[in-house]
Amino acid sequence: MVPGPPLSLVEPPAHLELVAQGAAGDSAAEKPAHLFTLHHKYLPQVQEAYQEAERTLAALPQPVAGLKVIQALEEAGYSAWIVGGWVRDGLLGRPGHDVDVASSAPWQEAASLLRDRGLVVIPTGSAHGTITVLVDGMPVEVTTYRREGAYLDGRHPSQVSYVSSIEQDLARRDFTINAMAYHPNRGLLDLFGGLDDLALRRIRAVGDPQKRMEEDALRVLRAVRFAARYGFAIDPATQAAVNRGAQRLYLVSRERVGQEMRGIVASGRAGWALREQKDALFSAIPELGPMAGFPQQTPYHSYDVLDHVARVCDFTSVFCGGILSERLGWASLLHDIAKPECLTFDTRGQAHFYGHPAHGRDIAQTVLRRLAIPKDVTIPALALIRLHDRPVKLQRASVLSILSDLDRYAPGQAPWLVHELMIIKRADAMAKAPAYRSYAIEVDELESLAGTLIAAGAPYRISDLPISGNDIIRELALTPGPSVGLLLQRLLKEVQSGFLPAEKSALLARLYSLNGCHN
C-alpha cells in the first residue's frame, strides 16, 4: 500500500469539498457531522480499523481481470477504482467473482482504449456510462464517475453528468456498505462509514434515506435483501424510509421485484422479513397480506397464519443447515398462502382449511409467474406446496405413494425432492402448538424409509414396473386408450402395497385375472 499524507482534522482536502456540497443532492444539514472527522483512514481513531480492512482485502485472491482494466485505464492517464460488491463482500470474508470498476475515463474513450488492447467491449449501459469488458472470459463492468439528476420515474435518473472524482461517484450510491472503493496501491476509500456499518452489521443509506428511497423504489427491496443476506439490521432512519417507500414498489417491473425477492427467499431469512419487513413484502407480494393476524382457531396451532409461516421459514433454514435451495425457500414462504381463503367451520365451531394445499399451489403459481421465477424453481416449489400437508404413514405403501405424487407434480425429481418435502413437513410440525410437534420425530423416520426404498429401487413410477403399456395391449388384445393406463396404475399400487411382487409373470397373471381371462 502507498499511504497518502495525513489529513488535517480541521480542513478536508479540496477534492472532498465536492462531496461536502451534497451526496446526490443532500443538503449540508442532512450530512453526518462526522463525515470528515471519523471516516477517513488517516485519522488516528480509525487508522487501525482501516489498516486491518486493507490487509483483509490485500490478502484475498485479487480480481485479476479488474486489475488489468485499471492498469489499462491508468496508463492512459485516467483514475480507476474497484467498487461495490467485491469490496463489500471481501471485507466480510466472502469475496465474490463479479468485479465493478469506476473510472474517470468517459465510457467512449474507455471502450476505445480497451478494444485497442484486444479486449471485447459491450456497451451494456452506455446511456449511464457503463460498458462491460471481457478479460480472459471474465466480465468486468466499467462505469464512468457520474452524478445523477432527478429520478422522475422513481427508478432511473432522468440524466447523468460525468464527474472527475471517485468521491462524487460514491456519493450517489444507495447504501454505505456499497459506497466503498479499493485500489491495490491506494488502499480503501470509505467516505460514508461503510466500514463502521459492516462492523455494526447495519444497512444504512448514503446521505438522506428518504431521498435515496424516493430516487429508486427498488432500493426498498434492496435494503431488505442485503439485510437478509448478511443477517444485518437496518438503521432506524433507513428503515423508516423503507417502510414509507414500500408503497411505491408498483413503479418497479415485476421481473426486478422477482429478482430481489429471490435473494430474500434464498437467504434463509424470509421468516425475519415476514415479521420485520411487512410493508416491503406485502407490497412485493400482495397475496401475503391476508395471512397477517389471521387466527387459525384450531388446537393444532398457537400462532396466526403469518407467524406460523414465518416460523416454518425459520425452521426450514435450520433443518437445511443454512444451505437453503430457492425452491424450498419459496415453498416455505407460500405453503399456507391460501389458508385465509379456505377457512371453514364444522358444526362444533372447529376451524378447518380443507383444500388449502391445492388452492395454495394455484395462488403460488400466479405469484411465481408474475415475478418471472424460472420453471426449474417453480415446478418443484409448487409440488412441495401441493403435498406439504399430505398425510404420510410410516409404511412402505404410503411412502411410495408420496414418491409417486412427487413424480407426478415434478417429473424426475422425486428422489431428491422427497428430502425437501420432509424438511418442510418437519418445519411445519415444529411451528405448530407444542402438543403437536412430536410428528417431527416421525418425519425423521419417514425420510429414512424413503431413502431406503429409493436405494433399493422400489417402484414408485409406472416406468419402474417390469411391464409396459405395449405388453398389456399385446397380452390382452386391447386397443390403446385410457384403460391401459388405469390398469398400469392399479398394478403399481398393488406392487407398492406388497400385494404383488414386482415380477413380470406375476403382473401378467394379475392382468388376466383383472381382465376376466385365464391363461
Last residue of a domain, one of 187, 212, 228: 228
Do 132 and 224 lie in a common domain?
Answer: yes
Whether residue 239 lies inside any domain: the answer is: no
9 assigned to some structural domain: no
Answer yes or no: is 139 within a domain: yes
The x, y and z cell numbers of residue 96, run together, are 465474490
The pLDDT of residue 80 is: 97
* 3 state DSSP class of 352: strand
364 and 219 housed in the same domain: no
pLDDT computed for residue 483 by the predictor: 86
For 236, the 3-state DSSP assignment is helix
* Domain region containing 496: 463-514
Q: Are residues 334 and 481 in the same domain?
A: no
Give the pLDDT of residue 189. Answer: 94
Q: Does one domain contain both 102 and 131? A: yes
- Do 32 and 137 reside in the same domain of the chain? yes
Nearest Cα residue to 492 out of 419, 403, 383 = 403
pLDDT at 179: 97
Which of 433, 455, 477 is where one domain is finished? 455
Phi/psi at 511 (5° precision): -60, -45
| Residue 215 near residue 151, CB atoms below 8 Å | yes
Same domain, 154 and 290: no
Tell me the mean pLDDT per 10 residues along the chain, length 519. 33 37 42 39 66 90 94 96 95 88 95 95 86 94 84 59 90 95 93 94 96 94 98 98 97 96 96 98 98 91 96 96 93 98 91 95 98 98 97 93 96 96 96 90 94 93 89 85 88 89 89 67
53 and 202 together in one domain: yes
Distances (CA, A) of 68 to 56, 164, 266, 324, 420: 21, 21, 33, 36, 44
Looking from the CA of 507 toward its CB, the CA atoms found within 13 Å total 24
Report pLDDT for 151. Answer: 63
What is the DSSP track for 190-209? Answer: ESSSHHHHHHTTEE-BSS-H
DSSP helix/strand/coil, 241: helix
pLDDT value for 38: 40
> CATH code at 135?
3.30.460.10
Task: Please indicate, yes or no, if residue 89 is contained in any of the structural domains.
Answer: yes
Q: How far apart are CA 345 and CA 351, in angstroms?
A: 5
Q: In angstroms, rounded to a whole number, what is the distance separating the alpha carbons of residues 430 and 308?
A: 10
Domains in the chain, number: 3
Q: Could you tell me if 97 and 181 lie in one domain?
A: yes
Helix (H) or strand (E) holding 189: strand 187-190
Determine contact, residues 224/86, Cβ cutoff 8 Å: no
- Whether 5 is in a domain gets the answer no
pTM for the whole structure: 0.85
pLDDT given at position 159: 61
Domain match, 33 and 177 both: yes
Three cell numbers, residue 381: 416449489
- pLDDT value at residue 34: 35
Asked if the structure places residue 237 within a domain, the reply is no
Domain boundary among 455, 473, 499: 455
Nearest residue to 503 via CA among 515, 519, 518, 491? 491
- 240, part of any domain: no
